[in-house]
């Protein structure tokens, strides 16, 4: 049985979103309120199991009295706030952010981005053929997962998951500065020379597919990756007594990827190397 | 925290550099040879991790001694401080003055920023690079503004060793810069700070009255010229009284944002959370700004006294002075001044026998414009990458180490001395109704007498330029530095006040006034500004990280174009600029398009 902790009751506060009354529990973000009101605000760096980093700025909205736009993912709702989500000003910034990302990063495996590019009429090509791109090669230095930093939007989620928010391994950090900033382990070494414990919790939170299972990476390269043919089965990890939930992604009767439900109140989507990558024995048919 | 270290070992020199800062390691847990005793218990935990803020000083120690930071040195420092090596690598690669790749012990930073570019920096650079090629033992690096604009073009040599040696060459010739780099010890001494103050010694100066008059090394001289009367007055008034005076004086922050200082102090003082911290932002990196350097070099005790007053008023017992890494002389002057003040009971457990404890620690920046942003500066001091935090919460509530913090610019703090000695009403009588007090302006470019000028707020741009002896053929004036804006040569009646410049659609910023004639093509200046922002963006948010790159690319494309040929890219620049202004996390991205926009709209660049 999954027990959802209710926490202490929170006061409701009232404010308006696009002129309509919104009531949310104290401590909610503008994004929480927008989602509760059924408004679809694009997000990239926001993670349901992580503290908001508000680095991508694609969720910006207008707040009455604020000089600049505010990130919906991190700004807490305040009583009497007047939030406008669909103004020309907010939509303009979202469009430019999408264009800036799409013109410099490979977003081909980022969910929903194609839809947003269309919705915001973004034209990443207009920066010209010479617009600087990340130009990174996939780093394949171990058997478990691949770091394809050409797809990295620098959302900091993997760093936060590896660091004090979940794993406490601190194997990765942002290195360098500005457009040259990249996620790296110490001395930019291969993963095998780093503090990485291969829990894969960074893959779990990566919003763009920059971090992926080696199995997924290889299948995509071979053109055999097909999510429509995959089933997802959530089960319990058998390795130890913690009882983490595993979601097995199965294609053609082979496990191709393992995730974990983010709403699990104990593990919040986190696993260890055994749960995440130790499934080969399941499909050992000898 | 289960830290993982590689096999790289520090050299004896690297180890010595770190140990000189942190003391010898006490156990193998922090890098010493393993003994039997170490096998019985583990050391570490919170006490060890609490020293994270020594990471940046540690990186400086290694870089100062060896000239670069090797894997082994970084790992050893991490072991000493219980810092994950990946994070320390992220911090070391953040700063322009550090290198994690081998390089010669001597680095010559040659300024290629606006004032120096107009004074022949490209030719100087080319000449130096020709003389100091590979194998010369000097690494020549093109640098953003070194804060020596009154003596452009400028170069700063840093020779790693024990101790590290520095030499400034400004105005630099190829010959002098090469000499400074190859033999910093025998390079001619820098002229006194007073030379940067054309008004030095004149009557009626409030902020600069001691520069060039007192010996900056002598505490007695400082006291003989009115030093420490303001602190005595502060003790008479009590903390609340001081804040009242500062509030009544109308003093607004001089670092660029013009936030009312009294309100900031009051907000910090009233926080119940303890301890409170005082931070002085001396990371003066806005291109064209050098007023804080001149104040610190010419009158260092004034800053020490002002920080003591600010700490007293806001309930802080520890002050941090975050000093720009490229200011070696200001560093020496302030180290000396703080030591003297400490020895004479003007800092320490019992300041002036009043039972108030206060001390100041200097932290050096390492080449990052963004660290002048108040929250990025906190991260930098704490040993993290100098990336801005999102606000709210504001520093007065959660600042340095998560505690209530008041952060002020050097000039702002120094203004507190006359406020207390002359009283708030007399101070408020200087300047205009809404912009009170005197203001320092950093005048450079095509003027006869570049330097720091003190004028009451409310003087016009024309008054200031006349004082500095503007040369014929003035084409444009850049106000507020790279984050500011250009105004035309026929707009010299703009009043230099916070509200006056705002009404004129520009900004006073940190007080940069840079005059340009036609000798440098405007598109080249704009390109340099765009390069600056691209280089200095921390990379945290998308609008700034990629937007500054796209801005530079577009300006490259239209560098030689005008009219219809440039119109498409100008429209693109406007769109990107608007998103940078609206959606960036901090002031860097929000202002990265200001100067370019003003040049297009006011000066008609590319028409």
Encode pLDDT of B6-35 as tens digits.
889 999 999 999 999 999 998 888 888 888
Is A1 among the domain residues? no
Count how many domains chain A has.
2
- The alpha carbon of residue B71 is apart from the nearest alpha carbon of chain A, in Å, by 7
What six digits make up the tokens of B78? 């991490």
Q: What is the pLDDT of residues B305-354, one digit of tens each?
A: 999 999 999 999 999 999 999 999 999 999 999 999 999 999 999 999 99
CB contact under 8 A, A128 and B94: no
* Percent of chain B at pLDDT exceeding 70: 100
CB contact under 8 A, A93 and B543: yes
Residue recorded with tokens 């350097």 = B293
| Of residues B84, B94, B549, nearest to A177 (C-beta) | B94
Q: Where are the alpha helices (DSSP H) in chain A?
A: 30-36, 88-102, 113-119, 157-162, 201-205, 214-222, 273-277
| Of residues B545, B581, B583, nearest to A178 (C-beta) | B545
CA distance A177 to A185: 15
Domain finish residue from B148, B175, B190: B190
Q: What is the pLDDT of residues B154-179, one digit of tens each?
A: 999 999 999 999 999 999 999 999 99
Domain shared by B382 and B457, yes or no: no
User: How many CA atoms does the CB half-sphere of A145 hold within 13 Å?
Assistant: 24
Chain B, nearest residue to A71 by Cα: B583
Q: Return the closest-CA partner of residue B431 out of B443, B418, B421, B444.
A: B418
Do residues B320 and B303 touch, judged by C-beta distance below 8 A? no
pLDDT at B73 over 90: yes
Chain A, nearest residue to B99 by Cα: A176
Q: What is the pLDDT of residues B129-150, one digit of tens each?
A: 999 988 899 999 999 999 999 9
3-state secondary structure of B215: coil
What six digits make up the tokens of B390? 């999102």
Mean pLDDT score, B411-424: 98
Domain shared by A197 and A125, yes or no: no
Mean pLDDT score, A46-50: 95
What six digits make up the tokens of B505? 């659609």
CB contact under 8 A, A100 and B390: no
Domain shared by B274 and B395, yes or no: yes
CB contact under 8 A, A186 and B85: yes
User: How many CA atoms does the CB half-sphere of B221 hold within 13 Å?
Assistant: 14
Domain shared by B494 and B395, yes or no: no
Is A139 among the domain residues? no
Is B213 among the domain residues? no
Is A6 among the domain residues? no
Domain shared by B41 and B159, yes or no: no
Domain shared by A17 and A126, yes or no: yes
Under the banding of pLDDT at 50, 70 and 90, the label for residue B40 is: confident
H-helix or E-strand spanning residue A16: strand A12-17
Domain finish residue from A132, A165, A186: A132
Q: What is the pLDDT of residues B444-461, one digit of tens each?
A: 999 999 999 999 999 999
Is B203 among the domain residues? no
- The alpha carbon of residue B390 is apart from the nearest alpha carbon of chain A, in Å, by 8
Do residues B84 and A195 touch, judged by C-beta distance below 8 A? yes
What is the strand order of the sheet A254-259 is part of?
Answer: A230-236, A245-251, A254-259
ipTM for the predicted complex comes to: 0.95
Domain shared by B42 and B86, yes or no: yes
Domain shared by B224 and B307, yes or no: yes
3-state secondary structure of B75: helix
CB contact under 8 A, A96 and B576: yes
Is B236 among the domain residues? yes
CA distance A86 to A17: 10
Is A2 among the domain residues? no
Best probe of the A interface among B545, B591, B593, by most A CBs < 10 A, is B545
Domain finish residue from B190, B207, B230: B190
Best probe of the B interface among A70, A130, A178, by most B CBs < 10 A, is A178
Is A137 among the domain residues? no
Is B526 among the domain residues? yes
Entry pTM? 0.96
Q: What is the pLDDT of residues B182-218, one digit of tens each?
A: 999 988 999 999 999 999 999 999 999 999 999 999 9
Domain shared by A197 and A81, yes or no: no
Residue B49 confidence (pLDDT): 80
- CB contact A88 to B (< 8 Å): no
CA distance B601 to B607: 10
Domain that residue B58 falls in:
12-92
Is B7 among the domain residues? no
What six digits make up the tokens of B354? 């009043």
Residue recorded with tokens 């630099």 = B172
The phi-psi region of residue B352 (left if phi > 0; otherwise alpha if psi is between -120 and 50; otherwise beta) is left
- The alpha carbon of residue A195 is apart from the nearest alpha carbon of chain B, in Å, by 5
Best probe of the A interface among B86, B387, B577, by most A CBs < 10 A, is B86
- CB contact A101 to B (< 8 Å): yes
Domain shared by A154 and A195, yes or no: yes
Q: Return the closest-CA partner of residue B128 out of B146, B148, B143, B115.
A: B143
Domain shared by A81 and A15, yes or no: yes
Domain shared by B172 and B76, yes or no: no
CB contact under 8 A, A96 and B86: no
> CB under 8 Å to B568, separation ≥6 — which residues?
none
CATH number at residue A94: 3.10.20.740
- The alpha carbon of residue A267 is apart from the nearest alpha carbon of chain B, in Å, by 19
Domain shared by A150 and A266, yes or no: yes
Domain shared by A91 and A174, yes or no: no
CB contact under 8 A, A96 and B390: no
Interface of A with B in 117-146 (CB under 8 A): 126-128, 130-132
Chain B CB contacts of A42 under 8 Å are: none
**What DSSP string runs through B435-460?**
SBSEEEEEEEESBSS-EEEEEEBTBB
Is B264 among the domain residues? yes
Residue B35 confidence (pLDDT): 83
Domain finish residue from B376, B408, B428: B428
- The alpha carbon of residue B83 is apart from the nearest alpha carbon of chain A, in Å, by 9
CATH number at residue B259: 3.40.50.11540
Residue A41 confidence (pLDDT): 96
Domain shared by A168 and A247, yes or no: yes
Domain shared by B465 and B512, yes or no: yes
- The alpha carbon of residue A67 is apart from the nearest alpha carbon of chain B, in Å, by 8
Is A3 among the domain residues? no
CB contact under 8 A, B549 and A180: no
Average model confidence (pLDDT) across chain B: 95
- CB contact A113 to B (< 8 Å): no
Domain that residue A279 falls in:
145-283
Chain A CB contacts of B539 under 8 Å are: 154, 174, 176-181
Q: What is the pLDDT of residues A122-146, one digit of tens each?
A: 999 999 999 999 999 999 999 999 9
Cα A54 to Cα A50, A70, B369: the distances in Å are 11, 9, 21
CATH number at residue A223: 3.30.70.20
Domain shared by A95 and A194, yes or no: no
Question: Which residues sit opposite B440 in a β-bridge?
Answer: B454
Is A138 among the domain residues? no
Is B588 among the domain residues? yes
- The alpha carbon of residue A74 is apart from the nearest alpha carbon of chain B, in Å, by 9
Q: DSSP class of residue A76?
A: B
Residue recorded with tokens 């998308």 = B542
Q: What is the pLDDT of residues A234-286, one digit of tens each?
A: 999 999 999 999 999 999 999 999 999 999 988 999 999 999 999 998 888 87
Mean pLDDT score, A149-177: 97
Domain shared by A99 and A152, yes or no: no
Residue A3 confidence (pLDDT): 67
User: How many CA atoms does the CB half-sphere of B501 hold within 13 Å?
Assistant: 28
Chain A CB contacts of B9 under 8 Å are: none
Domain shared by B225 and B364, yes or no: yes
Torsion of CA B438, B443, B447, B449, to 10 degrees: 70
Q: Return the closest-CA partner of residue B322 out of B257, B397, B379.
A: B379
Domain shared by B341 and B278, yes or no: yes
Judge if the upstream peptide bond of residue B120 is cis by omega within 30 degrees of 0. Answer: no
Interface of A with B in 194-213 (CB under 8 A): 194-195
CA distance A28 to B422: 49
Domain shared by A128 and A182, yes or no: no
Domain shared by B178 and B83, yes or no: no
Residue A2 confidence (pLDDT): 61
Is A186 among the domain residues? yes
Do residues B361 and B350 touch, judged by C-beta distance below 8 A? no
CA distance B535 to B555: 15
* Percent of chain B at pLDDT exceeding 90: 92
- Which range, of A72-86, A171-185, B22-36, averages the lowest pLDDT? B22-36
- The alpha carbon of residue A257 is apart from the nearest alpha carbon of chain B, in Å, by 27
> CB under 8 Å to B491, separation ≥6 — which residues?
B461, B477, B504, B602
Do residues B441 and B450 touch, judged by C-beta distance below 8 A? no
Mean pLDDT score, B528-555: 98
Under the banding of pLDDT at 50, 70 and 90, the label for residue B520 is: confident
Q: What is the pLDDT of residues B262-317, one digit of tens each?
A: 999 999 999 999 999 999 999 999 999 999 999 999 999 999 999 999 999 999 99
Chain A CB contacts of B549 under 8 Å are: 104, 132, 179
Best probe of the B interface among A173, A183, A207, by most B CBs < 10 A, is A173
| Of residues A74, A93, A156, nearest to B579 (C-beta) | A93
Domain shared by B274 and B356, yes or no: yes
* Percent of chain A at pLDDT exceeding 90: 93
| Of residues A60, A169, A177, nearest to B538 (C-beta) | A177
Under the banding of pLDDT at 50, 70 and 90, the label for residue B555 is: very high
The helix-helix angle for B12-22 and B55-66 (nearest 10°) equals 140
Cα B312 to Cα B183, B235, B268, B562, B577: the distances in Å are 44, 8, 12, 57, 42
Chain A CB contacts of B577 under 8 Å are: none
Domain finish residue from A99, A132, A165: A132
Residue A6 confidence (pLDDT): 72
Domain finish residue from A132, A154, A177: A132
- The alpha carbon of residue A163 is apart from the nearest alpha carbon of chain B, in Å, by 10
Best probe of the B interface among A96, A123, A131, by most B CBs < 10 A, is A96
Count how many domains chain B has.
5
What six digits make up the tokens of A149? 């930093």
CB contact under 8 A, A178 and B368: no
Domain shared by A167 and A222, yes or no: yes
């Amino acid at each position: 049985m999954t027990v959802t902790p209710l926490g202490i009751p929170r006061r409701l506060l009232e404010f308006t979103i696009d002129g309509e009354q919104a009531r949310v529990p104290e401590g909610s973000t503008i994004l929480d309120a927008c989602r509760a009101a059924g408004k679809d605000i694009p997000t990239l760096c926001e993670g349901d199991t992580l503290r908001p980093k508000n680095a991508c700025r694609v969720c910006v909205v207008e707040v009455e009295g604020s000089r600049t736009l505010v990130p919906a993912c991190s700004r807490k709702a305040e009583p009497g706030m007047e939030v406008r989500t669909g103004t020309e000003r907010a939509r303009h910034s979202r469009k430019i952010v999408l264009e800036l990302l799409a013109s410099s990063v490979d977003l081909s495996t980022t969910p929903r981005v194609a839809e947003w590019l269309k919705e915001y009429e973004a034209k990443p090509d207009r920066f010209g053929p010479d617009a600087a791109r990340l130009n990174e090669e996939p780093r394949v230095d171990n058997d478990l997962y691949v770091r394809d930093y050409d797809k990295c939007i620098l959302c900091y989620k993997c760093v936060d998951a590896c660091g004090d928010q979940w794993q406490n391994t601190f194997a990765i950090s942002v290195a360098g500065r500005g457009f040259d900033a990249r996620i790296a382990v110490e001395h930019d070494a291969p993963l095998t020379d780093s503090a990485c414990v291969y829990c894969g919790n960074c893959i779990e939170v990566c919003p763009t597919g920059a971090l992926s299972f080696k199995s997924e990476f290889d299948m995509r390269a071979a053109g055999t990756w097909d999510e429509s043919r995959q089933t997802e089965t959530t089960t319990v990890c058998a390795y130890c007594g913690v009882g983490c939930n595993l979601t097995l992604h199965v294609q053609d009767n082979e496990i191709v990827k393992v995730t974990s439900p983010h709403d699990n109140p104990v593990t919040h989507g986190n696993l260890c190397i055994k749960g995440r990558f130790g499934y080969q024995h399941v499909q050992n048919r000898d | 925290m289960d830290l993982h270290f590689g096999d790289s070992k520090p050299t004896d020199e690297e180890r010595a550099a770190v140990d000189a800062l942190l003391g010898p390691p006490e156990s193998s847990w922090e890098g010493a040879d393993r003994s039997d005793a170490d096998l019985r218990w583990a050391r570490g935990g919170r006490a060890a991790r609490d020293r994270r803020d020594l990471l940046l000083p540690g990186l400086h120690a290694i870089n100062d001694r060896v000239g670069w930071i090797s894997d082994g040195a970084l790992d050893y420092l991490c072991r000493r401080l219980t810092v994950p090596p990946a994070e320390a690598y992220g911090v070391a690669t953040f700063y322009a003055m550090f290198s994690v790749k081998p390089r010669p012990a001597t680095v010559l930073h040659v300024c290629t920023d606006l004032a120096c570019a107009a004074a022949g920096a490209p030719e100087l650079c080319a000449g130096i690079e020709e003389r100091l090629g590979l194998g010369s033992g000097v690494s020549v690096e093109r640098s953003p503004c070194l804060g020596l604009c009154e003596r452009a073009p400028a170069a700063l040599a840093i020779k790693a060793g024990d101790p590290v040696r520095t030499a400034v060459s400004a105005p630099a010739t190829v010959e002098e810069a090469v000499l400074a780099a190859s033999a910093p010890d025998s390079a001619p001494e820098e002229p006194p700070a007073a030379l940067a103050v054309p008004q030095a010694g004149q009557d009626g100066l409030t902020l600069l009255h001691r520069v060039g008059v007192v010996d900056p090394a002598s505490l007695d001289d400082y006291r003989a010229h009115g030093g420490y009367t303001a602190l005595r007055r502060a003790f008479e008034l009590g903390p609340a009284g001081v804040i009242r005076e500062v509030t009544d004086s109308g003093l607004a922050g001089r670092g660029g944002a013009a936030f009312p200082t009294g309100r900031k102090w009051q907000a910090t003082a009233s926080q119940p959370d303890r301890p409170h911290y005082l931070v002085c932002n001396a990371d003066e990196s806005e291109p064209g700004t050098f007023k804080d350097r001149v104040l610190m070099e010419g009158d260092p005790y004034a800053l020490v006294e002002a920080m003591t007053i600010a700490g007293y008023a806001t309930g802080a017992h520890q002050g941090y002075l975050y000093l720009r890494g490229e200011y070696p002389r200001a560093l020496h002057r302030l180290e000396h001044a703080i030591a003297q003040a400490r020895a004479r009971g003007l800092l320490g457990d019992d300041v002036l026998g009043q039972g108030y404890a206060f001390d100041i620690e200097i932290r050096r920046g390492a080449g990052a414009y963004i660290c002048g942003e108040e929250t990025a500066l906190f991260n930098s001091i704490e040993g993290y990458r100098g990336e801005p935090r999102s606000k709210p919460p504001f520093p007065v509530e959660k600042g340095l180490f998560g505690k209530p913090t008041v952060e002020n610019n050097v000039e702002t703090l120094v203004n507190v001395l006359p406020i207390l000695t002359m009283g708030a009403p007399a101070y408020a009588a200087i300047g205009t109704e809404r912009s009170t007090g005197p203001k320092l302006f950093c005048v450079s470019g095509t003027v006869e007498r570049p330097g720091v000028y003190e004028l009451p707020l409310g003087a016009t741009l024309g008054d200031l330029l006349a004082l500095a002896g503007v040369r014929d053929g003035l084409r444009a004036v850049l106000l507020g530095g790279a984050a500011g804006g250009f105004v035309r040569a026929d707009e010299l009646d703009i009043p230099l006040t916070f509200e006056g410049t705002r009404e004129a659609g520009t900004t006073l910023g940190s007080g940069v006034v840079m005059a340009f004639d036609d000798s440098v093509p405007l598109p080249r200046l704009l390109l340099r500004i765009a390069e600056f922002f691209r280089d200095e963006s921390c990379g945290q948010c998308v609008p700034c990280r990629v937007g500054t790159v796209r801005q530079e690319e577009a300006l490259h494309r239209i560098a030689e174009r005008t009219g219809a040929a440039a119109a498409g890219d100008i429209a693109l620049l406007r769109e990107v600029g608007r998103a940078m202004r609206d959606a960036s996390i901090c002031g860097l991205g929000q202002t990265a398009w200001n100067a370019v926009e003003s040049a297009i709209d006011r000066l008609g660049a590319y028409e």
